């Protein structure tokens, strides 16, 4: 282990917790109506025709055909991103890839995948999916519509992922039932919320996922998206009643498909207790790959990331 000991933060990004303590964290209590809330949103979302549209993208890559993609999500919002199609072999699987709160400015070409159509959507309001109605910076985006669980932007971002699956199924009907999800940080939290309510997703990979254990998320010091929500709460009053319906740990306890989750022991942006709340909530047959740190460079990072990359390749391997 190479957990960082020198850092510039005014708080301890391990929060004084060792691995055994993190492993003992349990998911929060489920609010009444949690499952019904999400099932209704899912039913409404998949009734939307995504109408995916493709055009050749400027980037060229030896392994992938690269397309700009757009599709329609809920609230008639246009989601934009990229689609990678393998230059060699057939398309036998699909993968939706979520991004962190920094957004995304290009697809990830260094994926250890074969015969897979890979869709990189930008969540509503962010990067290529920027819109005047939704703030484009992370501290403001995470607050948009937070006054009500029915208007909170995170619900719409989850719906964007469900519509990404619909878009892949529209483009490649034969891969239905063979579509996975992979997300990091913000995208990891969205994935934990999206996967349990969409039976079309057959497996998921979440790296340093956020939005777990919202009560802790609202109290632990951080430099991540929770910081602006904590500041908002001090000024405007509790937002917990909204956020508890967007708890990634509660949602993760409902996941029934294979998962590969990579939480970190040290993380200034997403508190490790919140990450492990998500990881621990999943069924015990899933794999948890523990990183020394997240959102921070550390000794051995490249080696750990290389091992995780190989695991991801095996996890999403075409069978």
Report DSSP letters for 237-274, one per residue.
---HHHHGGG-HHHHHTT--S-EEEE-BS--SSS-HHH
Q: What is the pLDDT of residues 116-153, one digit of tens each?
A: 999 999 999 999 999 999 999 999 999 999 999 999 99
pLDDT tier for residue 319 given thresholds of 50, 70 and 90 = low
List the domain boundaries for the chain.
Answer: 19-312
Q: Are 192 and 255 in contact (CB under 8 A)?
A: yes
In this structure, what are the phi and psi dihedrals at residue 96, rounded to the nearest 5 degrees? -100, 130
From the list 63, 108, 110, 62, the residue with the least C-alpha distance to 82 is 108
From the list 265, 270, 254, the residue with the least C-alpha distance to 221 is 270
The pLDDT of residue 1: 72
CATH number attached to the domain at 19-312:
3.40.50.1820
The pLDDT of residue 60: 87
pLDDT tier for residue 59 given thresholds of 50, 70 and 90 = confident
Q: Are 273 and 15 in contact (CB under 8 A)?
A: yes
Q: What is the pLDDT of residues 196-221, one digit of tens each?
A: 999 999 999 999 999 999 999 999 99
Q: What is the pLDDT of residues 159-207, one digit of tens each?
A: 999 999 999 999 999 999 999 999 999 999 999 999 999 999 999 999 9
Q: What is the pLDDT of residues 238-269, one digit of tens each?
A: 999 999 999 999 999 999 999 999 999 999 99
This prediction's pTM = 0.97
- Count of alpha carbons within 13 angstroms of residue 141, beta-carbon side: 23
What length does the chain have?
319
């Amino acid at each position: 282990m190479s957990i960082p000991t020198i850092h510039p933060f005014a708080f301890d990004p391990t929060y004084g917790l060792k691995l055994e303590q993190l492993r003992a964290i349990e998911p929060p209590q489920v609010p009444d109506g949690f499952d019904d809330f999400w099932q209704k949103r899912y039913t409404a979302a998949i009734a939307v025709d995504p109408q995916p549209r493709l055009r050749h993208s400027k980037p060229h890559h030896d392994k992938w055909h690269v397309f700009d993609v757009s599709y329609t999500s809920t609230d008639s919002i246009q989601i934009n991103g990229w689609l990678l199609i393998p230059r060699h072999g057939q398309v036998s699987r699909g993968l939706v890839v979520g991004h962190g709160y920094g957004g995304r400015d290009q697809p990830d070409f260094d994926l250890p995948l074969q015969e897979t159509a890979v869709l990189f959507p930008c969540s509503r309001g962010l990067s290529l999916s920027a819109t005047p109605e939704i703030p484009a910076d992370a501290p403001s985006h995470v607050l948009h519509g937070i006054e009500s669980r029915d208007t909170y932007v995170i619900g719409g971002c989850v719906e964007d992922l469900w519509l990404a699956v619909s878009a892949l199924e529209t483009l490649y009907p034969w891969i239905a039932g063979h579509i996975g999800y992979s997300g990091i940080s913000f995208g990891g939290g969205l994935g934990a919320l999206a996967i349990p309510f969409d039976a079309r997703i057959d497996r998921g990979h979440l790296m340093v996922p956020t939005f777990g254990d919202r009560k802790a998320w609202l109290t632990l010091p951080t430099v991540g998206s929770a910081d602006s929500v904590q500041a908002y709460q001090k000024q405007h009053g509790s937002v917990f009643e909204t956020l508890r319906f967007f708890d990634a740990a509660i949602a993760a306890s409902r996941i029934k498909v294979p998962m590969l989750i990579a939480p970190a022991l040290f993380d200034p942006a997403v508190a490790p207790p919140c990450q492990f709340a998500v990881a621990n909530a999943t069924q015990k047959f899933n794999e948890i790959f523990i990183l020394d740190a997240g959102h921070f460079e550390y000794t051995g990072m490249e080696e750990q990331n290389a091992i995780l990359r190989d695991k991801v390749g095996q996890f999403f391997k075409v069978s």
